[in-house]
Chains A and B, each alone.
Chain A
Amino acid sequence: MNATVADSPLEEARRAHLEEQFDEPDQQHSAASLGMWIFLATEMLFFGVLFASYVVLRVLHPAGFAEASRETDLLLGSGETAALLTSSITIVVALRAIKLGQRGVATLFLSLTAALGIGFLVIHGFEYHSEWEEHLVPGVRFLKFGPHAHAVELFEVMSYLLTGWHSIHLIIAVSVVLGLTWRVWRGAFGPDHFTTLELAALYWHLVDIIWMFIFPLLYLIGRAPG
């Protein structure tokens, strides 16, 4: 161990947050981040199954999937995507602020992150509503005729599974961020103590990354003329 590093005030402060099973703050930090990444990997497995189902169904019914995709609201979908992409930046700006000890900035940007997440969910609620009105909810309220009616219903099944599970993840992420906003405001974190916030940001990024793949697969197929 380097004596110079051990003497630094930052290291001293980090040591105050050291759990008894760890020797070094760095060790504690990497154990926490490894644990989070293993959890994120299981989330990838979870969504991977849904993506694999989507791919197989689309290979089997390409025309029906294109027809169904054209009925999605691209403007709302793009808006949602922009909101989520922005939120991934605001959450890391909040993390940066906490590392610099700027509690107010961190609270502001965490609130902004949660607001963007809620905005995404509200826009998506409008989409669900219009699908309900257009009789596009599979198994519950579905009315469609034509050669691809069955394939369109399968697309809607995949669409509801993917966006539904994604929304549930986002609701969890928003709840976590709201809870952390409160704790940041109360001064629970600082330059020497921010791992919880960092792990929450990792989860938020994962929810964003999953949407990066859902968006083109549901909204962008069959758009080109001809």
Chain B
Amino acid sequence: MKPRHAPDSRARRLRRLVDGLIALQALLAIRRYRRAVHASAGAQDPRDSRMHSAQTKPEVKPLKTFAWAWLGLLVLLAFTVGSAFVNLGAANTAINLLVSVVMMLLLMTLFMHESKARRLTQLASAAGLLWVVLMIGLSLADYLTRVHIPAPWS
């Protein structure tokens, strides 16, 4: 559309700029549209779903994970044996047991499917551990708080 007033060069330049922007915007819109069409077609493409469902083997962890876990377990073993030779008093046993717990968690989370198990399965394993902790905890609550009271005649 032609402007009513005679366009000076500045107005014409502005006009050209606006036209250019509109064209660019249209171009981008078309590209976006094409991309969207392509994507939605891809999602519904039967070939894609066939590729997805052609799975013939369950997913597995890479071998590197197994190697690192093995190395980790052996390093933890070396650490726990080494720490036993440093006199730390009661902390020696605490460190040994802590290392054992770390080893156990490493196995449980990586290879015993605990991290993706059903809640009920996790509950069964947690119940076993909780029982052991309760039993040892309550036994210690008794034995550690006993006071030796000699009989009056002894």
| Interaction A to B | yes
> Which residues 1-37 of A sit at the B interface, judged by CB distance below 8 A?
4-5, 7-10, 13, 30, 33-34, 37
Interface: B121 (CB within 8 A) = yes
Interface residues on A, range: 35 or more
- Chain B residue nearest to A91 (CB atoms) is B111
Does B154 interact with chain A (Cβ within 8 Å)? no
Query: Is residue A172 within 8 Å, beta carbon to beta carbon, of the partner chain?
Result: no
A85–B77 CB distance below 8 A: yes
Binds B, one of A47-55, A117-125, A160-168: A47-55
A201, B61: Cα distance in complex, Å:
16
Among B54, B69, B99, B111, point to the contact of A8 (Cβ < 8 A).
Answer: B54
Q: Are the C-beta atoms of A89 and B100 separated by less than 8 Å?
A: no
* Interface size, chain B (Cβ < 8 Å): 54
| A86, B70: Cβ atoms closer than 8 Å | yes
Q: Which single member of B52, B53, B92 contacts A224 (CB below 8 Å)?
A: B92
Task: Check if B85 is an interface residue, CB within 8 A of chain A.
Answer: yes
Contact (Cβ within 8 A) A89 B73: yes
Q: Is the CB of A191 within 8 A of B58?
A: yes
Q: A96-B61, A223-B84 given. 19 additional CB < 8 A pairs?
A: A8-B53, A9-B56, A10-B58, A30-B118, A34-B121, A34-B124, A44-B129, A48-B128, A51-B136, A52-B136, A56-B139, A60-B143, A89-B66, A92-B66, A93-B66, A100-B60, A213-B100, A220-B84, A225-B85
Write the residues of chain B forming the contact surface with A, with a CB cutoff of 8 angstroms.
49, 52-58, 60-61, 63, 66, 69-70, 73-74, 77, 80-81, 84-88, 92-93, 96-97, 99-100, 103-104, 107-108, 111-113, 117-118, 120-121, 124-125, 127-129, 131-132, 135-136, 139-140, 143-144
A sample of 7 cross-chain residue pairs with beta-carbon separation below 8 angstroms, ordered by A number, consists of A33-B113, A44-B131, A51-B136, A85-B77, A213-B104, A225-B87, A226-B87
